[in-house]
Every structure is written in C-alpha cells, then in structure tokens.
Chain A
C-alpha cells in the first residue's frame, strides 16, 4: 500500500461574483502519494489554480468558499481546519511556488530576512541558526555566493534566480508536499530546464511529493508520474503519465495532445484544432461540459453529466461514450 500524502475528494469550490454565485470546482478528486509528482493540466479557467488555492486555503476572501468535499492531508481534513491550524501547516508542511516570483517576494526586505523569517516562524531555533540554515538552502538551490545574496533585494536578481529563492523559501521547512503553480511559465526555456531539474533533484533528495500545475504538456511528460486533466472545473481524465500520453481516452485530452505543434511534424501542416472555446462558468451546460466542442458528442451528452469511470485500475475518465470512441489517433509522436 502506498503512502498517500494528499487525497482530494469531491471538492466543490464556489465564488461570489457580481453576477451571482459560480462553481469554479465541481467535484474534483485525485490523490498524491509520497515522493510522487502529479501534474494538473488544463487551459485557463479550468480550475487548476483554484484547486491549489483550495488546498492551501488561500482562496480570495470573502468571495471564494469551499462548499463541499474533503482535502485529506496525511489524514487530516484541511477543508475543516481552523485558520490558525492551517497557518501552521502552510509553509511548514506544504510549500508553495507561484508563477511570478516577483509577486511572491517582498521587494523591501532582503532575501536573507525573508528566508529566515519562514524558518523562524515554523521552527524553534535561534535567529543565528536560522540565518545559517537560510544560507545553506540558498546554496542547495544553486545560487552562487549565497552569503552575499542574503543581503540583496529581489530586484537585484534575475528571473531564474528569483524563482530559485522562492523555491528555497518553499523548501526551507522541508515540507511533505510542494505545490508549484506554473513555476516556469514566466521563464525562458533554458532557465525552465534548470528549474525543473532542480525541483526533481530536490524531490529525490528530500522525498517530498510535488503537485505541479501547468498548461505545458511537455513539462508534464518530462516531470510527472501521474496526470490530472481538468476541464471547466471538473476532472476530465486522470491516470499515469503513460495512460494519458499513450492511450488518451477523453476526447478533450486527445484534442489537447493533437493540437500542440511538435518539432517533428512537417512545417505548415494543418494542426488539429479543438473548435470553439471553453464555456463560461456562468452558463455551464447541464450535461458534459465538453459537449459543445466534442467531435463525438451525442444527444445524451447534452443532458447527462458524466461521472468518472475506470478504464483501468489507475486510469479514470469522465466521458459517457468512452467505450464507443475510435482508438486515439496520436499526433506526430514517434
């Protein structure tokens, strides 16, 4: 039996907006085992960041609310925890890395002060020791001359260096779970490669679990063992990285994989497209949310909301017609 770190079950999150209440997450379930990297993939507005915010209990207040489901972290339901208890878990046992490192760092404090603050907040050690530990972590995430960097401000660092500092902060207390929300989207590819390599290396050393949110299927394929594909607030498909890339079953997953330009497809060939666009959260259809863009949709798809069904033990799909679909036509993959 594998050691389950995080188990999200039937999570429902709603937002109060000017035009009424909208349901951003509608019954999201997945789990993460110790030492595992799980990728959450989907397009803007599919609910991947809201999932992370719900787990961290960092939903914009007072608009965002978890209205149903459980988030079991090492057996404890985070959704039911008091804010005080949650604060003790956040940063200490669950670390978080955001997309834009500049907004995650305080521009008027030095790197050293921000890093040691995290450590002092969660660990009973002296300020001296906290500073020493901070230097060691900066060194660990590959920042050259860390003792000098400790006295510098965020604006003095490059984008890649800033993201390393944010990772250092997230890992300062050796968390069991790291949630990384588009950690490399704002970075150049060569820097992205450095940061992904770093996250994987730290994960191996520290044995933590990683929840990686991204829209980049390439990043998923290279770093994750399991994948959760989200669409309009629901899980469309989930399984191992091989399930998702080798036998994608949901028409949305298939469309997504087919629509990315690959380096080995001939230039200017017509790319497969997913016609139309994601429905707004305010006018969600009664049935399957992908129905209006799905090439295989039938009348029942318009009226019945698909529940997750098992393709194999680890591979689940939320499509009414998955058993009748033709085998996946995989794109240019060799």
Chain B
C-alpha cells in the first residue's frame, strides 16, 4: 500500500542566537535526519524523552514549522517547501491535537464558534449546515449538544480534550498528529480519551502520528512504534516487537524504567547514567554512546544507520551492537 505520509531525512535546525549582534553561530539540531512512513488508517507511535525532538517533528509534519532540509511527502506530494497559500487545502487533511486543550482553545469563543471556525475558513456549507455539523461533531466525541453555547473554561480537562478532538476531526482529515494528547489527564479520564481515539480511528479511517513520552500509552494505541533519541530515530517496528524484543540498548533501558503496576513484579531496571546531552552539540558517532552500557570505540567514531534486525520482520535499529538485553 502507498504510504499516506512519507518523511525522508528530515532536519529541523533552530539557530541559537548569541552575543551582541545575535549572530546564529550554533544550531539546535532538534530533528536531525528522521525518516518514517505512516500508512492510511494506521497509528505510528513516537516515543522519546523531553528534548528528543518528537514534538518538533510533529510540528514540521503539520507544517507549523518550515523544516531546514529533507522531504515530507503527503499522498506522494512533497509539502516541505510549500507556501502557506498552497498549504491551505492540505490543512483539511492533516490536523493536530495538542497536549493542553485550554491553551489551544480560544477562551473568548464558545465551543460552537471554535468548532465552526474551520468550516468557515474552508468555506464548507451554509450557516445551518455548519450548525448541524457542529452538533454532529459534539455527538461523535461524546459531548451534549448544549455544550455549543458554553466556553472552554466551563469544561473539565477531559471534556476540553474532547473539544480539541472534535475540532481536529471537523474537516474529515486523513492524518492527525496527536502531541501528548492524554499526558495532562488523570488516569480514569485518560482511558476515556484513548478509547475515543481508537473508536474514531475505526469509524473515520484516520491515521495517527501519536507522540507521547508514556510508552504504555503509546504501546496501547499504536500499530508501529518509533523510538527517538536526540533528534534521530534509534529503533522502530511493530509495537509488540519493539516492546517484547527491542534490540537497541536505549529502547531496552526506556522500557525497563517504566514502573509496572504490579507489586510482585519488581522490574530489573537498566539505569542510565547522567542526562540527555544537548542537541546543540550532540555527541560524535552514535548519539547514545555517552550513556550506553555497550559503547565501544566504534560508537564514538561512526554513526550507526537503521538496519533490519533478524529477530523480527520490520524491526529496525540504529546500533553497532544490537541484540537482546
């Protein structure tokens, strides 16, 4: 099947301005050579710690940022250098859900106005048809129709996220970039939203790029998972394989660090030393070598490329010494 989204060697470098004349002498290499594909109706989970570039990658794909280099092909068409005017029709097809719905919803607009706005911008239907669609959207995300006349602050966190989701699906997109959509929510509400996202995906044939730091949440919702570290993907493959037989030492330590809600199962943690290095001056060779328990001389010199792992079809890892933990 042709991929819906294909990203090739994408780079996003932000200038770091310093000194008297604010010259950009250094660059924050937030995303530094990422390639990935998302098929129609599929969920690709993107996991990594803060600063690994996962949100920046999401914002490049929705073209909230203009990437520095590389390709973003959506339905075969490269959108990475497109002008804003040409992007407008495309924005119907690629939507985004943000972490904090209160910050991403206009506090001065009613929920009805918020949901109607994308329809107005894209000139869809007359006033009556739009009102009907808004009611339909509220119903889809499980909110009562009377919510239309109320303001975002009148809703709880979980309900606000439902409004954010309703807005994202208003234009019947085929891809939604979800940036930490449940990490601000309580567990009992989180499960409601995750169920809703899965239901909508099946009903509307949506593809998700699901960005989160919580591997258990990502594993739950994703068909495939990609693990990011310092601006690059270090391992990716089918969700079950990435979780059960990861070959990259970073993925292994990430999984071992997750606290398991079962007191009988005391996990054997692979503790990593130190913190994530700065993306302004990433380590030479393999970016993980400064914290890696398996690092050898070659890891400092040569950058590993993503290669297929013999253990499972579709599992690829970028490591000089891949293998089970």
Contact = CB atoms under 8 A, between A and B. Distances in A.
Contacts of A194: 271-272
A262 to B, nearest CB: 6
B305 interface: no
Given A190-B253, A222-B266, A263 B259 contact: no
B311 interface: no
Nearest to B52: A188
A256 B187 contact: yes
B194 A261 contact: yes
Interface in A187-206: 188-194, 196-197
A304 interface: no
A259 B220 contact: no
Interface in B169-201: 186-192, 194-195, 198
Which interface class (under 10, 10 to 19, 20 to 34, 35 or more) fits B?
35 or more
Interface stretch (B7-15, B20-28, B209-217): B209-217
Interface in A201-226: 215-223
Interface string B41-54: 00100000110000
Contact of A158 (B253, B258, B275): B275
Contacts of B194: 261, 271
A240 B213 CA distance: 30
A192 B215 CA distance: 14
Given A188-B49, A272-B191, A261 B219 contact: yes
Nearest to B225: A267
Nearest to B218: A261
B267 interface: yes
Contacts of B263: 221-222, 241-242, 245-246
Contact of A190 (B186, B188, B190, B254): B254
A188 B216 contact: no
B45 to A, nearest CB: 9
Contact of B188 (A158, A188, A273): A273
A259 B187 contact: yes
Contact of A270 (B198, B261, B269, B272): B198
Nearest to A252: B188
Given A263-B216, A267-B219, A267-B240, A215 B187 contact: yes
A249 to B, nearest CB: 16
B127 to A, nearest CB: 33
Given A189-B254, A261-B216, A221 B261 contact: yes
A108 interface: no
Nearest to A275: B192
A260 B49 contact: no
Contacts of B223: 267
A257 interface: yes
Contacts of A196: 259
B155 to A, nearest CB: 10
Closest 7 CB pairs of A and B: A218-B259, A261-B220, A188-B49, A259-B191, A43-B186, A193-B257, A271-B191
Given A263-B219, A267-B223, 4 more contacts: A189-B257, A242-B263, A261-B191, A271-B195
Interface of B: 43, 49-50, 156, 158, 186-192, 194-195, 198, 213, 215-217, 219-223, 239-240, 243, 253-267, 269, 271-272, 275-276
22 contacts: A43-B186, A44-B186, A188-B49, A190-B49, A192-B257, A193-B259, A218-B261, A220-B261, A222-B263, A245-B262, A246-B263, A257-B261, A259-B191, A261-B220, A263-B216, A267-B219, A268-B198, A271-B191, A271-B195, A274-B188, A277-B156, A333-B261
